[in-house]
Amino acid sequence: MSGLPFTTEDSLAPYQIIDAFTVCFKNILNSPNLSAHIQKVKGDLYNRDYLAAFDDDDKRFAYASRWTPARALAYASLFSSLTEITTLLKEPTFAKNVLCIGAGAGGELCALGAVFARLKEYNPTSSSQLNIDIIDIADWSTVLNQLTSYMKNTWVYNHQSLNMSFVQNDILTCNIGMSKYELITLLFTTNELFAEKRKETVKFLHTLCQNCKKDSLLLIAESAGSFSHITVGDKKFPVQFLIDMILVGKPDENDGAWEVISQQESLWYRVNEKEVTYPLKLENMRFFYRLYRKK
């Protein structure tokens, strides 16, 4: 899988995902101040000042309207291309609990919703549910509530089958019980965590080893290339090398709490702009991912 498909059978169509943002953020997209807010966010992100980038609703809505739609498309393609995730979301009876860490901007929410809604079409009245818990250090509640309301009203037959709960907190210092989740995602978040608090991030990854339940899934994705290198002493390591060491164990020994069941070091998602229309540019994405399963 060197490139992700633009659209898949196991997700809503890209235009349906983009429609969520066009409708929810109509006023934002029409605002004369949008470009100024986007430039502020760009500056903060360039300086890797992640707290400043998202410290008010203007910046959060600017980010969510500018960058989240393309992220949601890519994530939906990734989720729906991973058999273990589609098998989980397709199951017709039980409630599935997913934790999305650092996912306040809504990309993971819309992508999971798009895959669940498409798979739910096969059993629209079944009792299965998708409960998405999102934790982020900034207050993304307004953004997430708008997107959730749209998804409930537009994408699923039964409003109660798709649910979102948001917690504003720092994943590195708060105490969240991990044992109830079938899937945890860390998408474009680990670099930020390592940049802010390296020691605490290592400790958090060890917590995942101790507290997640058997057979639960952990999906980590991050930018491919040198941006995702971490300096330790006088050496630079790819961030995925450090994560693998903690979760899986030393190379060839595999003595850790997790096993890698799917991975790619460099993967492109390219937007087909002939099939979707959006007022702002939809970026192509290149990233690596690891899908782990708890032993």
Q: What is the pTM of this model?
A: 0.96
pLDDT surpasses 80 at 240 = yes
Q: Does pLDDT of 89 surpass 60?
A: yes
| Region 264-284 average pLDDT | 96
Q: Average pLDDT, stretch 182-202?
A: 93
pLDDT for residue 189: 94
Of 28-37, 117-126, 162-171, 179-188, the one with minimum mean pLDDT is: 117-126
- Kindly state the helix (H) or strand (E) to which residue 268 belongs, with its residue range: strand 258-269
The pLDDT score that the predictor gives to residue 293 is 98
Q: What percent of the chain stands above pLDDT 90?
A: 86
Which of 53-62, 159-168, 225-234, 276-285 is least confident? Answer: 225-234
**Which token pair is 59?**
């910046």
Q: 287 with 267: CB under 8 angstroms?
A: yes
Report how far residue 238's alpha carbon sits from residue 267's, in angstroms, rounded to the nearest whole number: 16
What local confidence, expressed as pLDDT, does residue 127 receive? Answer: 94
Nearest partner of 184 among 122, 243, 227, 140, judged by Cα: 243
Q: Which CATH number fits domain 14-294: 3.40.50.150, 3.10.290.10, 3.40.50.1820, 3.40.50.10490?
A: 3.40.50.150
